[in-house]
Structure 1
Amino acid sequence: MFDIFSSFPPYLLVFLAAVLFVAGFVRGFSGFGAAMIFMPVATSVMVPSTAAAAFLFVDGIVALPLVIRAFRICNWSTVLPAVLGSIVFVQLGAWLLATSDVLVLRWAIFIIVTGLLLLLISGWRYQSKPTKPVSFGVGAVAGILGGVSQVGGPPVVAFWLSSAREPAIVRANLIVFFALASIGTFVAYTLNGFFTLEVLHLLVMAIPVYALAIFLGSNGFKKADPGLYRKLAYGLIALAALSSMPALDSLFR
């Protein structure tokens, strides 16, 4: 049952472990971004449903201590409406994916994410206290983008980064948002039979590697300059934009 080499050759496991370690370190440091690093690479060497199910499971289990700690300091008044908006509108994103021109949708996503990044780099800040309707709206945009392309992070990242909140609060908001928003995905993956024996085999390697990487990344955040957090977040948003750009499919897929 646990013969992982029956599903994945050793060289592939080593390669995936290296990618997952980088993704986990970034996740531990920033609170988000691991999927942006792992998924484009993993889906190029295995069935996308296997990669997605394995990553969802390992991130949900290993990142649980991060979530518990983030519960204590996140801003619930803006996180919960954003989560609700994401859960509701991810269905619209999935419907658009099923009924619209995928190429047009992906170019639209690239333009939206790039626009958010340029807005942040320009120095613009959301000065008002986030209201529940605004937070819900941002979560809705994240849900639509996630349903279309699994690139749902940039809207909420840009929203909370643009506020006057210190990096620790922004990071906690993101950790809790992604944890709660993923509950619906767990249910959908279970109903669709995505948690297969191949996923179990991959988890044997993934859990210890990802756990070590998250631990090191989380400790790195405690010692890092706050300015480094914002720069890393900008870089991850740029990665999300590039990985969703149709013209670069040969590199990311």
Structure 2
Amino acid sequence: MDLTQFSAGLIAYIVVVVFLAGVVRGYSGFGFSALVTLSLALFLPPAMVIPMLMLMEIMASIQTLPRVWKQVDRVTLTLLMAGSVVSVPLGAYLLANLPDSELRLVISTMVLVVTIILWRGYRFPARGRKGLSLATGLGSGMMTGAAGAGGLIVAVMFLSISAHMAVIRATMIAYVMFQSSYMAVVAGIYGLMNLHTLISAVVLAVPMFAGVMVGHRTFVASAQVAYRRFVLILLMVLSVAGIVRALMG
């Protein structure tokens, strides 16, 4: 992704999207890549956007993770990553090989389905928590590799188990960092990373960090329900827009 090849209007749009998604990331620990991918894939090839986002997720997590590391659920994190190690390369293969229109359709459909599941408050069977974490890691890895949105399915898992909101948020931040680091390596193997990708990630880290700071400061229990509904509605709208864009070619 080379920002210098875009118009001023598109660059402004990208900066605003990254800032607002950063607010979501700083508040909840997830959702950044899903929002940016859906928003930018309306105008840019997903294979150009997602590798850059993985680098930005790493940078955001490096900033945030030290503050919350003591609250991370290490066992759940390990199982999630074990599943992701297997499935991320499969998703990345789709990212590297599917045509843009088909990839937009896959990305938007996956995000829409998981977002609806979150909206309806569906919960996975709570029995066998370790198996659930491992299976969720498999699904999340596939979604991250293909769509950069693996955090959403993990959010469904956390709805299904009993855990404090601060622990969920901390574990999500740690998971996104480790998974994104792995995805960045896999993307490099598939030839999806280059110098322009790194430069674009560094430049856009400025509005992202500004958004993360705002989101982190507004992490208050009284706003959680309204905030969650707003993010889910936004994801659904963007998913539908992505599906329409893909079908129109």
Q: TM-score range by the shorter chain?
A: 0.7 to 0.9
Name 2:208's counterpart in structure 1.
210
State the distance in 2 between where 1:51 and 1:95 align: 15
Seq. identity, %? 24
Name 1:157's counterpart in structure 2.
155
Post-superposition offset of 1:151: 3.8
Moved more, 160-169 or 28-37: 160-169
Moved more, 90-99 or 26-35: 90-99
**2:245 partner letter:** D
State the distance in 2 between where 1:6 and 1:113 align: 29
Aligned residue among 130, 141, 144 for 1:143:
141
The change in CA–CA distance for 1:200 and 1:109 in structure 2 (over 3 A counts) is closer
Name 2:182's counterpart in structure 1.
184
State the distance in 1 between where 2:221 and 2:64 align: 16
Query: Which structure is larger by alpha-carbon Rg, 1 or 2?
Result: 1
Post-superposition offset of 1:211: 0.8
State the distance in 2 between where 1:176 and 1:36 align: 17
Unaligned runs of 5+ residues in structure 1 are: none
State the distance in 1 between where 2:90 and 2:203 align: 35
The change in CA–CA distance for 1:118 and 1:69 in structure 2 (over 3 A counts) is same
1:90 correspondence with 2:80: no
Is the contact made by 1:36 and 1:240 (CA closer than 8 Å) also made in structure 2? Answer: no
Q: Secondary structure of the equivalent of 2:71?
A: coil
State the distance in 1 between where 2:51 and 2:219 align: 27
Name 1:248's counterpart in structure 2.
244
Name 1:219's counterpart in structure 2.
217
With the length of structure 2 as denominator, give the TM-score of the two structures. Answer: 0.77
Aligned residue among 158, 167, 170 for 2:168:
170
Name 1:68's counterpart in structure 2.
66
State the distance in 2 between where 1:40 and 1:112 align: 11
State the distance in 1 between where 2:107 and 2:3 align: 38
Is the contact made by 2:37 and 2:148 (CA closer than 8 Å) also made in structure 1? Answer: no
State the distance in 1 between where 2:184 and 2:15 align: 23
Moved more, 122-131 or 19-28: 122-131
Post-superposition offset of 1:119: 5.2
Post-superposition offset of 1:116: 5.3
Post-superposition offset of 1:181: 1.2
The change in CA–CA distance for 1:229 and 1:70 in structure 2 (over 3 A counts) is farther
The change in CA–CA distance for 1:161 and 1:98 in structure 2 (over 3 A counts) is same
State the distance in 1 between where 2:217 and 2:142 align: 33
Kindly tell me the number of residue pairs found equivalent between the two proteins: 248
RMSD: 3.8
Moved more, 112-121 or 179-188: 112-121
Aligned residue among 40, 43, 51 for 2:41:
43
State the distance in 2 between where 1:88 and 1:13 align: 35
Is the contact made by 1:243 and 1:252 (CA closer than 8 Å) also made in structure 2? Answer: no
Name 1:231's counterpart in structure 2.
229
1:32-74: per-residue Cα shift (whole Å, max 9, x none)? Answer: 1111221233234445443223222222113312122232112
The change in CA–CA distance for 1:96 and 1:35 in structure 2 (over 3 A counts) is closer
Is the contact made by 2:55 and 2:181 (CA closer than 8 Å) also made in structure 1? Answer: no
**2:197 partner letter:** V
Post-superposition offset of 1:139: 1.2
State the distance in 1 between where 2:15 and 2:106 align: 33
**1:27 partner letter:** R
